[in-house]
């Protein structure tokens, strides 16, 4: 307890005196993984399971807006919350840019639906920002997993719900996913198929609103791989994922390949070190689960691995763990740090 207080006060004082430290004038200059992260208004950032895009000098972070104080059991999903930043440390609240529907109980995204892991890409052809998210219809639990699709003309929203589809060619759909945009502009949906949990890839149509054709099972990737996040460096694709244990943490796994459709090599668990605050190490991914790998535009070749520490009893209290991702000798390394900057 004393040790924890020491770290809070000395290394990351903004978690305790957030309002002062987070004014735009003397803004935050460090990442403090596993600690409460406040926005520029001093409110804890509410963007879980998120992803980030970069547009004209600004980063936009999209994540699950968890209804304050609710448990996952009670239905905590309120839509997609967006924050913007130019430096990645200080985030401005852009609001809920896609809300669950409070009026129409027949809506696919009516209050009570499960709306998770939003990811956004920009489609040059249609000039639309296209958002995918995991969608389970209200009242059906985690039965059939749809991909929900929403679009917008502005990165800071609003987004309009468009439609849903069943991914991975299964009548039960798919679960966790990443939307990976390759250097040639093609966008892929990498996802875990339901109910057999095979890991699959499908290319999206030019407008990115639907998959183009059939999905292929990536048999080199073990069954039950969830929470995929991908990046490409020097012609090699790298992926980090998790195992499958719901909100409870498990060990991360990582892979590389030269061809998105085959030949994935198992690189093992990329995590090193121990989370000072919960004493969890690589065997539990510091108590967290991967959600995205962010290429940092100011530092070409530098990547941040973004993780969530879930809090299913009070979903909005979930925490973020952002750590530098190193690529060394063909392997991925994510080392715990109490505080860091780039
Ligand atoms: C996780 C998944 C989360 C959420 C959770 C529910 O494995 O990554 O997005 O669906 O299961 O138990």
From first to last of its 342 residues, what are the pLDDT tens digits of the chain? 444 444 444 455 444 443 334 444 468 999 999 999 999 999 999 999 999 999 999 999 999 999 999 999 999 999 999 999 999 999 999 999 999 999 999 999 999 999 999 999 999 999 999 999 999 999 999 999 999 999 999 999 999 999 999 999 999 999 999 999 999 999 999 999 999 999 999 999 999 999 998 999 999 999 999 999 999 999 999 999 999 999 999 999 999 999 999 999 999 999 999 999 999 999 999 999 999 999 999 899 999 999 999 999 999 999 999 999 999 999 999 999 999 999
Distance 247 CA to ligand 1 centre (A): 6
Label the pairing between strands 331-335 and 271-272: parallel
| Predicted local distance difference test score (pLDDT) of residue 12 | 57
Protein residue with least CA distance to atom 6, ligand 1: 246
Distance 175 CA to ligand 1 centre (A): 8
Distance 77 CA to ligand 1 centre (A): 12
Q: What do you get for the CA distance between the two ends of the chain, in Å?
A: 29
State whether the beta carbon of 246 lies less than 6 angstroms from ligand 1.
yes
Residue 335: closest CA among 307, 297, 310, 309: 307
Q: What is the dihedral of CA 228, 231, 123, 87, to 10 degrees?
A: 100
Mutate which of 48, 63, 227, 246 for ligand 1 pocket (most atoms within 8 A of beta carbon): 246
State whether the beta carbon of 49 lies less than 6 angstroms from ligand 1.
yes
Compute the distance between CA of residue 333 and CA of residue 148 in angstroms, rounded to an integer: 32
Q: Which two tokens stand for residue 315?
A: 């979903």
| Predicted local distance difference test score (pLDDT) of residue 27 | 85
Protein residue with least CA distance to atom 12, ligand 1: 246
Distance 316 CA to ligand 1 centre (A): 15
The count of other CB atoms within 10 Å of the CB of residue 168 is: 28
Protein residue with least CA distance to atom 11, ligand 1: 246
166: left (phi over 0), alpha (psi -120 to 50) or beta: beta
- The CATH architecture of the domain made up of 2-335 is 5 Propeller (2.115)
Distance 239 CA to ligand 1 centre (A): 18
The count of other CB atoms within 10 Å of the CB of residue 165 is: 16
CA angle 323, 328, 330 (to 5 degrees): 115
Protein residue with least CA distance to atom 10, ligand 1: 246
Peptide bond into 158 cis (omega under 30): yes
State whether the beta carbon of 77 lies less than 6 angstroms from ligand 1.
no
Residue 126: closest CA among 147, 148, 164, 152: 152
Q: Where are the beta strands (DSSP E) in 204-252?
A: 216-217, 226-233, 236-242
Distance 147 CA to ligand 1 centre (A): 14
State whether the beta carbon of 117 lies less than 6 angstroms from ligand 1.
yes
State whether the beta carbon of 226 lies less than 6 angstroms from ligand 1.
yes
- Boundaries of every domain in the chain: 2-335
Compute the distance between CA of residue 90 and CA of residue 101 in angstroms, rounded to an integer: 30
State whether the beta carbon of 289 lies less than 6 angstroms from ligand 1.
yes
State whether the beta carbon of 247 lies less than 6 angstroms from ligand 1.
yes
Residue 148: closest CA among 138, 158, 159, 163: 163
* CB within 8 Å of 162: residues ≥ 6 apart: 149, 150, 151, 209
Distance 56 CA to ligand 1 centre (A): 32
Q: Helix, strand or coil for residue 257? A: strand
Does pTM top 0.85 for this prediction? yes
Enumerate helices (H) and strands (E) in the chain, giving the number of each.
2, 21
């Amino acid at each position: 307890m004393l040790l924890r207080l020491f770290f809070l006060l000395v290394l990351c004082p903004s978690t305790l005196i957030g309002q002062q430290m987070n004014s735009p004038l003397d803004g935050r200059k460090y990442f403090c993984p596993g600690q409460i992260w406040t926005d520029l208004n001093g409110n804890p950032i509410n963007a879980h399971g998120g992803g980030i895009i970069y547009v004209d000098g600004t980063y936009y972070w999209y994540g699950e807006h968890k209804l304050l104080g609710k448990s996952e059991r009670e239905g905590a999903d309120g839509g997609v919350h967006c924050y913007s930043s130019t430096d990645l440390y200080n985030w401005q609240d852009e609001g809920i840019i896609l809300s669950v529907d409070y009026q129409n109980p027949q809506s696919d995204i009516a209050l009570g639906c499960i709306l998770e892991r939003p990811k956004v890409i920009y489609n040059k052809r249609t000039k639309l920002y296209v958002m995918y998210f995991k969608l389970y219809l209200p009242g059906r639990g985690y039965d059939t997993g749809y991909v929900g699709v929403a679009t917008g003309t502005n990165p800071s929203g609003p987004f309009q719900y468009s439609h849903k589809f069943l991914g991975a060619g299964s009548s039960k759909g798919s679960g966790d996913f990443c939307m990976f945009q390759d250097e040639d502009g093609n966008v892929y949906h990498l996802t875990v198929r339901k109910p057999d949990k095979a890991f699959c890839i499908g290319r999206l149509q030019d407008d990115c609103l639907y998959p183009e054709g059939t999905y292929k099972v990536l048999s080199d990737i073990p069954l039950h791989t969830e929470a995929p996040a991908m990046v490409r460096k020097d012609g090699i694709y790298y992926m980090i994922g998790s195992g499958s244990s719901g909100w409870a943490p498990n060990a991360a796994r990582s892979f590389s390949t030269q061809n998105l459709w085959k030949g994935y090599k198992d690189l093992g668990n990329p995590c090193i070190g121990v989370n000072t605050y919960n004493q969890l190490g690589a065997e539990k991914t510091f108590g967290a689960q991967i959600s995205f790998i962010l290429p940092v535009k100011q530092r070409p070749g530098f990547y941040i691995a973004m993780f969530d520490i879930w809090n299913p009893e009070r979903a909005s209290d979930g925490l973020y763990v952002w750590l530098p991702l190193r690529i060394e000798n063909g392997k991925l390394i994510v080392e715990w740090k109490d505080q860091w900057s780039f």
